[in-house]
Amino acid sequence: MELHQSNEPQGLEIRPAAIFAFMKIFPLLILTIGFLYLAWWILPALIWFSLVALAMACYRFTYIRKIRYLVTPEIIRIRRGIFFKRIDQVELYRIKDYVLTQSFLLQIFRLMDLELRSTDPENPVIWLRGIPVSNLVDIIREHVQEARQHNRIYEIN
């Protein structure tokens, strides 16, 4: 399981599972094998396409595995990037809706995608993809309610 407590107080750090990253690069690996096969039987120069596809797969795998989601009682911080880092931060009182989805493959590997819809203009939708199945939605919902009470935010429909 990829959920663990972070060094920051009262924070939960989550990252996408390795099997999720592998599922995302699987088509590139098939492409790599296809180019290798064609390079072996037809045109040896196609080996370069195979190497490019393999490099893309390695980069994508590393990129996915470097993503970090930090959930604290006040914020959600999303950190991603290898060469160029980007950190997005959303105040929890801005979260409006939670959508948990599990495709058939995600169900097999006990993973889930969590979509958080917010009123933040920079991040109206926050995706936590390929994370282990857990009670994260309940934890975030509790933190959102506490943050709204603390900041005196009231929703009027």
| Domains contained in the chain, number | 1
Give the range with max mean pLDDT: 5-14, 62-71, 115-124, 144-153: 62-71
Please, are residues 105 and 156 in contact by the beta-carbon 8 Å criterion? no
**According to the model, what pLDDT value does residue 81 have?**
94
User: Is 107 contained in some domain?
Assistant: yes
User: Is 132 contained in some domain?
Assistant: yes
Tell me the pLDDT band of 3, cut-offs 50, 70 and 90.
Answer: low
pTM for the full model?
A: 0.84
Q: What is the pLDDT of residues 23-35, one digit of tens each?
A: 999 999 999 999 9
Q: Which domain holds residue 118?
A: 74-157
User: Is 51 contained in some domain?
Assistant: no
User: Is 144 contained in some domain?
Assistant: yes
User: Is 45 contained in some domain?
Assistant: no
User: Is 21 contained in some domain?
Assistant: no
**According to the model, what pLDDT value does residue 79 have?**
96
**According to the model, what pLDDT value does residue 1 have?**
47
3-state secondary structure of 59: helix
User: Is 145 contained in some domain?
Assistant: yes
User: Is 93 contained in some domain?
Assistant: yes
Per-residue tokens: 43:
């045109």
CA angle at 82 for the pair 77 and 84, rounded to the nearest 5°: 80
Calculate the dihedral angle through the C-alpha atoms of 59, 62, 65, 70, rounding to the nearest 10 degrees.
-90
Average of per-residue pLDDT values in the chain: 89
